[in-house]
Structure 1
């Protein structure tokens, strides 16, 4: 901890809230408010990522120290730092929500290590001026889900924030898990999140909505200078390059979500990072059975705006809002519209290439669009586990006949008895075409299988797995957190000692709270 190189660029260069009182209010003409974390009564370290600690310049030994526990629980403040909450706005479920801000997140500091910059942020560390009607705290269940998921996503190759630590506060927190008028006390916890920054689309929306155009210009130029140094040229050209860069990295992020079957659940503009990394893990989930209409968010259960199949379109819609926020600096709609129009065209092209790679097809033909579309339909004929289907598809060989190939992926069916009659005929037809297509590939079965297994994970953080870890942790048993953390560091490896986690969602998890759908407080 003594070796952390503090470099608070955000607070040193951008306008601060002059009001130092920690009262919920509208905060104008500023980008952040200084605020200290709420001191926990009896913090206890549950887990720390040695890998992330090393990334930011903290030794393995230091993660076990009292200093580490005190700083990353919010009990003590690092020397030469002033924690702060960021001011931003956003569109939530498609509607303008006005000021939002860091309601339960407090940025401890920015640090520099190995020529890289990181922001260290505590989630669940107490009230800020942006907490609205909430207490700014977090419960153990949501903290476990966030802690494990960020690391799972990173090791899947999905751009993401990282998790440094998971700490019990020692305090009780009142929450209504299903928003049904039945609040109960739960254990409080704090997660330390690590990212280049936590700047969001909504950060710029806030400034434009309030017509704080001087601050908007300063903030955009600050962001480009520090996070996009490759961008050069005249100011207006820089702003356009910045928008294009954010659009490109957002597209790549969403492509990875679709590749591994991840559903964010709350793609509001305040939950979109300008770095194209996944942030704010609330009611997320991985597809169990392949269902493009599935959303893990109870709040979204009626309109399903944030369903799996709609994530690319929502990303584009969110980019439209960012374009509107940047427009006053550019005063030309056409170049912004050009980026937005190319977003979906580029995504569709990339999606086809990605999907073919999941199938072990590394060349493209005119018939491939039909092959992909037919498979997406087939996967919905009966409940079919997405992760298991694609992982087991790598065992299919060119010399197989369709019935043999179907047998190899049979474990992915939740109700294999339904794969008969017309459904069996449809699958047989698809596999016959797929096997013919495989024969056109130059790779051997072994080479293709190896490449497919680097794209199709064997293990993902299914909601029932996280819930088992939560249930155990409630009884002060943290062994499952350790086990899942270890498992998810190598999601593409076979890991025979963890084969039990290569399994379909159990029946008991079908409707259990925390396993099927979750609320935003989850």
Structure 2
């Protein structure tokens, strides 16, 4: 097994001089060295062939004992020194101080085919940033992260990737619902891969400590390796860097809204500087279309990170990043001007995205009213988002009165669709038909375009839970079944039609299917 090791982060940035792995405040350093924990009996459950190829390995490599040992933390790659990153962050709107990689350890960086990847283990043991935790992860959260990061990639959503999923062979104690009922669960390790795992919080921690020197070093490093097209560092370059981060973040969030993904924990330490979906914790997929839904039990009361607030929270988080970059620029106007473009960009991009979901290629000033009217009606009764938009591609302008029939499979409780709601739907379908007639394309062409942006298959919460339940019994076949299914989310896949279905009633209030905790 041979990788082209090209470590940059640990070579070019300041390291924590203390080498003992004790919990502590780490200052004037971007990372601390940390060695993964030796596991009792590692067992590889699944490997992503695409990511193997991306980093320069083969399927044969993945069958080797060396691969198993390295990607479960039991062996260190030659000429590498694993480390955990130092960062802070705002958690649920409050500054939390130092956080850092509490259970993530970066193994190395590799270069392959003109791309640069950082390889990280999640759940491989404690680091100086673990605080009161053990740095480990359990099987249920690891299955969810492994499947979802790859599913998101194939949906076209910017994301970190997953290379491998393994059992550690150790038992891990977790209080899943934070209700005092702790129990032992199977320990697991996910190998994550991304061009970088840098987050907003990496920059915030130095600004909060007034360590402008290290902040500048890190920002310059980021521009050099990830935004090199902006040129050499200067105040103007820093502004351009911030604008690029804003644009990338917004693009990611628009994709989340398009496919019905709710992150659940949009803290600033969970926001990638590259605009990648990162940290798949208590995430969830909209079943019924509900702007107020959040998958996170911790957020149940205030719903800060609910589906309908994700774009708004994106701006709040970007404001915190702007505050962190301010010491390098020393004037607020440029940063404020960039932030002030966000709402207009978000509105324009959101409407453009919704037009694409509705099969509208042209722009019409009435589209905003048509879209907002649809969003209101979708919430009058529980209506499955994925099924609704996928089946809407079958709508015919010649028979708008059949609109309700086309989407009826999306209703969770058909008897709740009152005469008043039916009337609202029929009125909307009449307006929609009139709008489609302006387009001048065939129904078949429109259907093809709509089916490229409205997925048929997403990793619904109950699907992931079924795979977890099987895995806890030692049966890992469903992990691969879902992995293969979600590689082609926009294809019809008739053989997999059973997964194009509403959430089963048994899953409505089941832990892991309706809401999740941060416990993993």
Q: Is 1:8–2:13 an aligned residue pair? A: no
Runs of 4+ in 1 over 6 A off after TM superposition: none
In structure 2, what is the equivalent of residue 128 of structure 1? 127
Tell me the distance in 1 between the aligned counterparts of 2:118 and 2:133: 24
SS at match of 2:166: strand
In structure 1, what is the equivalent of residue 356 of structure 2? 357
In structure 2, what is the equivalent of residue 311 of structure 1? 310
In structure 1, what is the equivalent of residue 435 of structure 2? 437
Q: Is 1:45–2:26 an aligned residue pair? A: no
In structure 2, what is the equivalent of residue 410 of structure 1? 408
In structure 2, what is the equivalent of residue 421 of structure 1? 419
Matches within 5 A, 1:103-502: 103-232=102-231, 235-402=234-401, 404-502=402-500
Deviations 1:94-134 (Å, cap 9, x if unpaired)?
Answer: 00000000000000001111111100000000000000000
Cα displacement (A) at 1:22: 0.5
SS at match of 2:230: coil
> How many correspondences in the alignment?
520
SS at match of 2:59: coil
Cα displacement (A) at 1:418: 1.8
Deviations 1:175-199 (Å, cap 9, x if unpaired)?
Answer: 0000011100000000000000111
Tell me the distance in 2 between the aligned counterparts of 1:6 and 1:398: 57
Tell me the distance in 2 between the aligned counterparts of 1:472 and 1:232: 51
Tell me the distance in 1 between the aligned counterparts of 2:245 and 2:400: 45
SS at match of 1:441: coil
SS at match of 2:371: helix
Cα displacement (A) at 1:367: 1.0
Distance 1:390 1:296, change over 3 A: same
Check the 8 A contact 2:70/2:77 in 1, yes or no.
yes
Tell me the distance in 2 between the aligned counterparts of 1:204 and 1:104: 20
Tell me the distance in 2 between the aligned counterparts of 1:7 and 1:233: 22
Check the 8 A contact 1:50/1:63 in 2, yes or no.
no
Tell me the distance in 2 between the aligned counterparts of 1:520 and 1:450: 39
Distance 1:234 1:515, change over 3 A: closer
Check the 8 A contact 2:123/2:136 in 1, yes or no.
yes
CA RMSD of aligned residues (A): 0.7
TM value normalised by structure 1 = 0.99
Tell me the distance in 1 between the aligned counterparts of 2:142 and 2:85: 20
Cα displacement (A) at 1:401: 2.5
Check the 8 A contact 1:158/1:256 in 2, yes or no.
yes
Tell me the distance in 2 between the aligned counterparts of 1:127 and 1:432: 59
Tell me the distance in 2 between the aligned counterparts of 1:226 and 1:232: 11
SS at match of 1:107: strand
Check the 8 A contact 2:220/2:233 in 1, yes or no.
no
Show structure 2 runs of 5+ residues with no match. Answer: none
In structure 2, what is the equivalent of residue 80 of structure 1? 79
Cα displacement (A) at 1:233: 5.4
Deviations 1:308-338 (Å, cap 9, x if unpaired)?
Answer: 0000010000000000000000011111011
Deviations 1:441-483 (Å, cap 9, x if unpaired)?
Answer: 1110000000000000000000000000000000110010010
Cα displacement (A) at 1:424: 0.6
Cα displacement (A) at 1:397: 1.4
Cα displacement (A) at 1:234: 5.8
Deviations 1:463-513 (Å, cap 9, x if unpaired)?
Answer: 000000000000110010010000000000000111000000000000001
Show structure 1 runs of 5+ residues with no match. Answer: none
Deviations 1:146-196 (Å, cap 9, x if unpaired)?
Answer: 000000000000000000000000000000000011100000000000000
